[in-house]
Structure 1
Amino acid sequence: MRTNLQKIAVLSIPLLILAGCASEPTGPLAYAELSVGLDTQCESFQTGDAADQITVLGDLGTQPEVSFPVPLSGAGIETAVIIEGDGGEVLGGQQVLLHFAGFNASTGDTLQASDFTSQDYVPQDLYPGLVPDFCSALTGVKVGSRVAVLLDAENAHGNVGIQSLGIGASDGVIFVFDIIEAYLPRANGDTQPAKAGLPTVVSAPDGQPGIQIPSSDAPDEYMSAVLIEGGGEPVEIGDNVVLHYTGWTWDGEQFDSSWERQSPATFPITPDGLIEGFVMALDQATVGSRVIAVIPPELGYGDSEQGSIPGGSTLIFVIDVLGK
């Protein structure tokens, strides 16, 4: 199962980051509706006098023309909304797709940039405690917005600089972001009744699942259930899907978790790259849903040892469908 994702970070960006009666929804819900009721994982962005001195010209979908007084310094993290979108707000603890342009705030030098005119968007994970602190910079920004962000040296690179990019230990960094899309931080929808024979799933405040496994022997047959039913689009075989998941063996040993990596997994739902039981669990699951699957060896890794998973293991997966 492929789980690695490219991220933007100063340390890791690829070189060049109604009035009247309401009507019932007629189709799958979008992020703005699916994310209603979820808590933010970071403090909402703050404006500042320094960020307000950054001038950004150009429309969404065009390469921005950026200018600012040099050197430009601010305190902490300052975000200026240049163009406000009309999508749902970024919550933090999630992945977003964006375009970016980066600049050294002390020298004015351009660091790196994506092609804002393309659909080759850059995935970025937004989690508390990561450096650069994009979570604090973008939480509260609406999807579809263009923003300018000024990070001081501590929040941009931990006051260590990045020699390969010509960033000194005291240099701040400016980013211009177009926020193209956001994925859910966790499942969000209607809780479904428990199904007999399946492990009990409990959740941490951020949504990370844990399980309580029955004392009985592992079932011989494949079993699955929707624990939370989301209102988004259904997953079709072949779709590229963004997920959070955790996997255990029936004896309770956890062998994988995208939650602990603080990085949702993105891959196509096909039998070519995934075990059959995992594909079965996701076929027709809707965005926003949480699914549990108990996968017998013949639909998993069979009798073959797979890393820390012994041969002949029955597997348990809890999967949150965050987007597609």
Structure 2
Amino acid sequence: MRRPATLLLAATLLLPAATVAACSGGSSTPSPSNSSATGSPSSSPTTSAQDEAALAAVKVSGDLGSAPKVTFDTPFAVSTTVARMDTKGSGDPIAKGAMVQVDYAVFSGDDGSKVGSTWDTGKPDVLPLGSLNPAFEPLVSTLVGAPMGSRVVLGIPGAPATESQAAQPSSVMVLEVDKVVPTRATGTPVTPPAGLPTVTLDSSGQPSITVPSDATKPTDLVTQTLIKGDGAEVKSGDTLTVQYSGWLWDGTQFDSSWTRGTPFQTQIGVGQVVKGWDQGLVGQTVGSQVLLVIPPSLGYGDQEQGSIPAGSTLIFVVDILAAH
């Protein structure tokens, strides 16, 4: 299970994710001075002056790099997403489409209580700015071009009740950008042994494969590092941010985060993905690219899974971009 703050970030900011075949059951900058900037909110054309005033009244204090103190009058409510720069960092400008590591805290507009905080868990999250729900363009436009290390305040509208979920109040999010996350594996190339599917990368890092005609389907999991990253070791329970593509043994591609245009996030080692991922990725290092050849027993077994026939041997190339 994801922690509450991460769940809110994924559910509200990211575009709806396609079903990822790796999931079990079909299913996770010039350097200006570090100065305070209570600038005007960045908003969409439909944002009202009332929404902007509500966000401007949110008070944030504390040093960058540590959990902020946030106060506001309740109930807090906005009708559309609105964002403002709170404090500028001192790093390089954040590029359009960048993937960034962030810390954030979320507060209920009903009573100001904290919903969740990565500062509390000690586990920052990863936000792909090129893959956010269009409703969060105010956040993107506030961050793009801003110096790394900046802190932004975001007002998020509530949601009405549905058959499966109670009504959600508006919320306040304070978000700080820690660093840029690479969009592809980075590290030392490793020469794989003969007989495995051959992986070729295009200029962006997107992989394609060729399965040798004399190759034999393995009965056990094959885990082959293709690029050895120098980041932290992946531990069971970590939330991974990855780029991946998956193929059947005959070379037919059935899924790819590259073609969807956004990295995939999942918790690893706890049954959120097929066993071949859990067994093959735990113990790898951040920055690595890993080839996984997964026998049916560690994939979907004798169950058909969308375009994946029953009894399929699966091939994945996974770039491990971040773990937290």
Query: What band does the TM-score fall into relative to the shorter chain?
Result: 0.5 to 0.7
Q: Do the aligned residues in 2 keep the contact of 1:92 with 1:185 (CA within 8 Å)? A: no
Q: Do the aligned residues in 1 keep the contact of 2:291 with 2:316 (CA within 8 Å)? A: yes
1:182-202: per-residue Cα shift (whole Å, max 9, x none)? 654321111222432222223
Match of 2:67 in 1: 61
Please list, as runs of the form range in 1=range in 2, the aligned pairs for 1:197-212 lying within 5 A after superposition: 197-212=195-210
Q: Which amino acid aligns with 2:205?
A: G
Change (3 A) 1:49 1:137: closer
Please list, as runs of the form range in 1=range in 2, the aligned pairs for 1:73-152 lying within 5 A after superposition: 80=85, 82-84=87-89, 92-94=97-99, 96-99=101-104, 118-119=120-121, 124-127=127-130, 131=134, 132-133=136-137, 134-139=139-144, 144-147=149-152
Give the paired residue count. 258
Deviates more, 1:240-249 or 1:91-100: 91-100
- Partner Cα separation in structure 2 for residue 135 and residue 293 of structure 1: 35
- Partner Cα separation in structure 1 for residue 306 and residue 226 of structure 2: 28
How many Å apart are 1:220 and its aligned residue? Answer: 2.7
**In structure 2, the residue corresponding to 1:321 is in which secondary structure?**
strand
Change (3 A) 1:255 1:113: farther
Change (3 A) 1:163 1:126: same
Residue 297 of structure 2 is aligned to residue 294 of structure 1 = no
Q: Which amino acid aligns with 1:196?
A: A
Identity of aligned residues (%): 31
TM-score by length of 1: 0.59
- Partner Cα separation in structure 2 for residue 163 and residue 237 of structure 1: 34
Q: Which amino acid aligns with 1:265?
A: Q
Change (3 A) 1:304 1:293: same
How many Å apart are 1:99 and its aligned residue? Answer: 2.4
Change (3 A) 1:12 1:278: closer
Change (3 A) 1:267 1:233: same
TM-score by length of 2: 0.59
- Partner Cα separation in structure 2 for residue 98 and residue 209 of structure 1: 31
- Partner Cα separation in structure 2 for residue 65 and residue 144 of structure 1: 21
Q: Do the aligned residues in 2 keep the contact of 1:98 with 1:181 (CA within 8 Å)? A: no
- Partner Cα separation in structure 1 for residue 178 and residue 184 of structure 2: 19
Q: Do the aligned residues in 2 keep the contact of 1:281 with 1:293 (CA within 8 Å)? A: yes
- Partner Cα separation in structure 1 for residue 9 and residue 87 of structure 2: 21
Please list, as runs of the form range in 1=range in 2, the aligned pairs for 1:148-297 lying within 5 A after superposition: 176-179=174-177, 183-221=181-219, 222-259=221-258, 260=260, 262-270=262-270, 272-297=271-296
How many Å apart are 1:208 and its aligned residue? Answer: 3.0
Q: Do the aligned residues in 2 keep the contact of 1:96 with 1:183 (CA within 8 Å)? A: yes
> Which runs of no fewer than 5 residues in structure 1 stay unpaired?
15-38, 40-46, 68-76, 103-109, 151-155, 165-173
Please list, as runs of the form range in 1=range in 2, the aligned pairs for 1:35-54 lying within 5 A after superposition: 50=40
**In structure 2, the residue corresponding to 1:255 is in which secondary structure?**
strand
**In structure 2, the residue corresponding to 1:127 is in which secondary structure?**
helix
Q: Do the aligned residues in 1 keep the contact of 2:102 with 2:175 (CA within 8 Å)? A: no
Change (3 A) 1:13 1:315: closer
- Partner Cα separation in structure 2 for residue 115 and residue 196 of structure 1: 48
Change (3 A) 1:57 1:136: closer
- Partner Cα separation in structure 2 for residue 305 and residue 163 of structure 1: 36
- Partner Cα separation in structure 1 for residue 93 and residue 281 of structure 2: 25
Change (3 A) 1:191 1:112: farther
How many Å apart are 1:314 and its aligned residue? Answer: 1.1
- Partner Cα separation in structure 2 for residue 180 and residue 81 of structure 1: 15
Change (3 A) 1:118 1:298: closer
> Which runs of no fewer than 5 residues in structure 2 stay unpaired?
15-28, 30-36, 43-51, 74-81, 161-171
Q: Do the aligned residues in 2 keep the contact of 1:269 with 1:279 (CA within 8 Å)? A: yes
- Partner Cα separation in structure 2 for residue 225 and residue 136 of structure 1: 40
**In structure 1, the residue corresponding to 2:12 is in which secondary structure?**
coil
Match of 2:48 in 1: none
Q: Do the aligned residues in 2 keep the contact of 1:218 with 1:250 (CA within 8 Å)? A: no
Q: Relative to total residues, which structure has the larger helix share, 1 or 2?
A: 2
